[in-house]
Amino acid sequence: MANTPQARKRIRRNQSRAAINSARVSRIRTFVKQVESAIAAGDREQAAAALKKAQPELARGVARGVLHKNTAARKYSRLTKRVAAL
């Protein structure tokens, strides 16, 4: 257990930040799943629209530090490739 006041505060802060970050990652996953479901349905227009919404979410995840920039770039690249193949 933390003994110093700053260590106790750090524990509180880490818990709240973890909750916020997990919500951000969950939101990003939701947007990516919307693109994937549109691809699975074969609906090119809906997939393109969902991809257009997912890209800023991925970029926001990178800016907030919950995703590595290469991870976001890889996801965006693969999704774009799959939408273009429809």
Q: What percent of the chain has pLDDT over 90?
A: 95
Model pTM score: 0.85
Per-domain residue ranges for the chain?
Answer: 5-85
Q: Give me the pLDDT at residue 2, please.
A: 80
Q: Which CATH number fits domain 5-85: 1.20.58.110, 2.60.40.1240, 1.20.1260.10, 3.40.30.10?
A: 1.20.58.110
Q: What is the mean pLDDT of residues 34-42?
A: 95
Q: Is 47 exposed, middle or buried (0-12, 13-18, 19+ CB in 10 A)?
A: buried
Q: Give me the pLDDT at residue 1, please.
A: 76
Q: What is the mean pLDDT of residues 30-37?
A: 96
Q: What is the mean pLDDT of residues 69-84?
A: 96
Q: What is the mean pLDDT of residues 39-49?
A: 94
**Residue 65, by phi and psi: left (phi above 0), alpha (psi -120 to 50) or beta?**
left
